Chain A
Amino acid sequence: MSLCILDIPVLVLIGFVIACLYAKMWRWDYPDIYVALSTAVIAVFWLNAVLCAFDVIEPWGVGWVTTEVNGWIALFIVLAYPRWFGWGAERARVLFGRAPDQGGLLWPFSLEEKTRPFRSAWHAGTEEE
């Protein structure tokens, strides 16, 4: 089966960019958009792989970055696409934070506070604060 060897780096990059945009811009107004976009991206890459496997279309990058892979190994590689996408997204979360109350490793290096306050995990205290 033919696979484009750039599929994985591109997925990592797209995962990183989408997670960056989500952390910096979208998570406030569109909290569900990350799931929607990531599902769509993975679906496109999987659809492309399936169509290539059944010779409906040629894999992108023919003659340049495609490679022939044994069917079962190819299946394993294609099923692992979400993991690579997630790996790229995780790099962005390390930099920009995972939740609205986090700013990631870059948090100390900005002057503006854009993160939200922490939410109390519980409140058991009775003393005056």
Chain B
Amino acid sequence: MEKRALVTGANGFTGTHMVEYLFSQGWEVVATDIRREERGSYYCEEGKLHPSYFEGYSQRIASRFVTADLTDKESLLPLFDRQYDAVFHVASLYDYFAQWDELHKVNVTGARNLGEAAAEKGVGRFILWSTEGVYGEQDDFAIDEDAPHNPTNLYCKSKAAQEEVMWELHAERGLPLTVVRPGPIYGPRHTYGVYHILYALEKMGTGVAISLFPKKHALTFPSVHVTDLTRAALYLAERDEAEGEAYNVLSDCVPQVELMEFLFGALGMERWVRVPIWWPLYKAGANIGLKLVRRLDRRARAKGVRPKIDVPMVEYITHHYEFSNQKLKDTGFEFTYQDPRKGLWEYITWCKDRGWL
């Protein structure tokens, strides 16, 4: 019998991929998202370098598309006029420039509304999209799913709060919850996050690969190809033992200096240097850079424009992040892009084909 899934955020980058993948696996898909006009009240801009909205994309694939707003409980009722084997809650306000009120409204209140409705109607599994960012900076590496939450920016704080709410629903209302915590996602149609790194490198034209010593401080680059993420989500949705569990979903973390050198080559950058820096000196320099970017952010907000690079994106390079994907691998899941360089090469080719890089 055909299985049925509900996908939220179905017109976003990951949402469109989730709908496509479920459809390719023979699932009946009910897709939902807000209207473009309503979305515009949350995001300050749209298009390349901003989270995208692919209007009509999921409508063409899904068996049914329902316009709904997570923050409006009433609008969610038509979604639950049928049973679902799985709900994939992809929708999120993923914008580092957004303010706390909006982030909380969509990511926390919106998720609670959907979770309550799902718990009330009963669903086979509820897959929640969280983020690796909930961990923040930790003392131990590689960070696994048991690490405490220590988010460093508003978006990640909202996702940590979202998880708390959903775990409460799991404990108190029996919501069959599984949490996926993806690293930065990339893949065809991706426009916000990893794309910024590639775009900024192309715009700057000169690469600087920083080799940190002592070696134990070598930064790593966490990421996941959207194909692996959607595959992992469905894989976990179909496994009983995944209920009540959280999983880091990301390719193996590769040293940042190696990845940067790979990117310089993949982007065709002729000029780049590898600079060895002592860790405390790097931290000091990175913090100065962070202060400059924060100042730029304040100036941008005062002018009503958006800076080219959001503050949290720079914050990420001032911290040492290294996550473990061992728990997911232990379930038997195999990544298509275990080494992110393979996926990034394909994504860069995709972008270059379109003049995006």
Contact = CB atoms under 8 A, between A and B. Distances in A.
Interface of A: 93-94, 97-99, 101-105, 107-111, 113, 115, 117-125, 129
Interface string B180-205: 00000000000000000000101111
Nearest to B270: A98
B296 to A, nearest CB: 6
A90 to B, nearest CB: 8
B355 to A, nearest CB: 3
A113 B305 CA distance: 11
A118 B352 CA distance: 9
Contacts of A125: 350, 353-354
Given A111-B300, A113-B308, A103 B203 contact: yes
B203 A97 contact: yes
Contact of B352 (A93, A94, A122): A122
Contacts of B35: none
A93 B205 contact: yes
Nearest to B352: A121
A19 to B, nearest CB: 13
Nearest to A90: B271
A124 to B, nearest CB: 6
B82 interface: no
Contact of A109 (B202, B271, B292): B292
Contacts of A98: 205
A107 B293 CA distance: 12
Most buried by B among A104, A113, A121, A124: A121
A77 B107 CA distance: 66
A104 B354 contact: no
A129 B354 contact: yes
Given A108-B308, A109-B292, A111-B299, A102 B203 contact: yes
B205 A104 contact: yes
B345 interface: no
A102 B200 contact: no
Contacts of A93: 205-206
A120 B353 CA distance: 6
B356 interface: yes
A57 B275 CA distance: 46
A107 B205 CA distance: 10
Nearest to A125: B353
A121 B350 CA distance: 11
Nearest to A112: B305
B309 interface: yes
B205 A102 contact: yes
Contacts of B356: 118
A111 B205 contact: no
Contacts of B216: none
B205 A99 contact: yes
Interface string B296-330: 10011001010111000000000000000000000
Contacts of A108: 200, 204, 293, 307-309
B286 interface: no
Contacts of A103: 203-205
Nearest to A98: B205
A1 B271 CA distance: 37
19 contacts: A99-B205, A101-B203, A102-B203, A103-B204, A104-B206, A105-B204, A109-B293, A111-B296, A111-B307, A118-B355, A119-B355, A120-B352, A120-B354, A120-B355, A121-B355, A123-B354, A125-B350, A125-B354, A129-B354
Nearest to A129: B354
A102 B205 CA distance: 6
A118 B309 contact: no
Contact of A102 (B202, B307, B350): B202
B357 interface: yes
Contacts of B355: 117-121, 123
